Amino acid sequence: MDTIIYGMGGGKMSDSRMTDHYQRIVDLAKTQFGIETPQVAIIPTAQFNGTHAKIGRGNMDFIGERFRRLGCDTRQILMGDVPAGESETRDRDIQDILRNAHAVFVLGGDTRYLLEVVRGKGLVATVESTIHDGKVMAGTSAGFIWLTKYCMSDAESFHSNQWRYIILQGLGILPVAGNAHDNGPLPQGLVPQVSRREQFEGYFAQLGELPGIVVDEFAAIEVRNFICQPRSPDPAIGAHVLANGPHGIARRKIAPGTAMDLRDAASLRDFALSIPD
């Protein structure tokens, strides 16, 4: 069975530009398992399961309803902080939900918190086996970049009015450095006032030969057996390959229909360096 990862670059979840992505996730699950009613496990851990004042639970409610409207059955996995009157999902129930799921959707938010909770509960191997078993592993923003080897996060923004981007070591399932919101606007409270794209490139310059994959808001990458293709509702946005070269960082947009093997670091670097944006 194929391994499938669908990583979205973030953006307002109810925006119409997200619509095709949700449908694509459902279609992938239907095709992968030959079913008409996929079961989707939703993990809102990076959203603090709706307990954080900055985020609330609007995205949790929206994504559950959206997948139900697309003909799916949904179940939530609550790990970490939980709303009053609710309980953290028991470990054996997590295993059961993931075993029965056809797709998993991981919400964006605090990437550091998501990684800390999953690692703290000893669930890294479970995430890896879930992907290996053919479940469609999908997510937006933090729900995408946590799967990369290194990523940049706005995790501090959830805890301070003045914050900096931080670099995190992800799960490394995708053997690249990853960034979401690559075309995003300059957020409030950022110190210094440098865009996410610029700060990520500053860090990426220190990574040597490790290639990078960056995804714009409202765009996505679809990775099947480590072969990556872009998905976008607008030709102006998409995904790019980054590489360090003799003249600095090179980036090249992945054209629709182009397939990149994320395991082949040399080919990714050659691609980025051949025709920089």
Fold observed for domain 4-274: Rossmann fold (3.40.50)
Per-residue pLDDT of 20-43, as tens digits, reads 999 999 999 999 999 999 999 999
Interatomic CA distance for residues 64 and 231, integer angstroms: 22
In the predicted model, is pLDDT for residue 277 greater than 70?
no
Interatomic CA distance for residues 167 and 174, integer angstroms: 16
Per-residue pLDDT of 165-207, as tens digits, reads 999 999 999 999 999 999 999 999 999 999 999 999 999 999 9
In terms of C-beta density within 10 A (0-12 exposed, 13-18 middle, 19 or more buried), how is residue 255 classed?
exposed
pTM (two decimals): 0.97
Mean pLDDT of all residues in 241-249: 95
DSSP string, 69-111: HTT-EEEE---SS--TT--PPPHHHHHHHHHH-SEEEE--S-H
Per-residue pLDDT of 92-101, as tens digits, reads 999 999 999 9
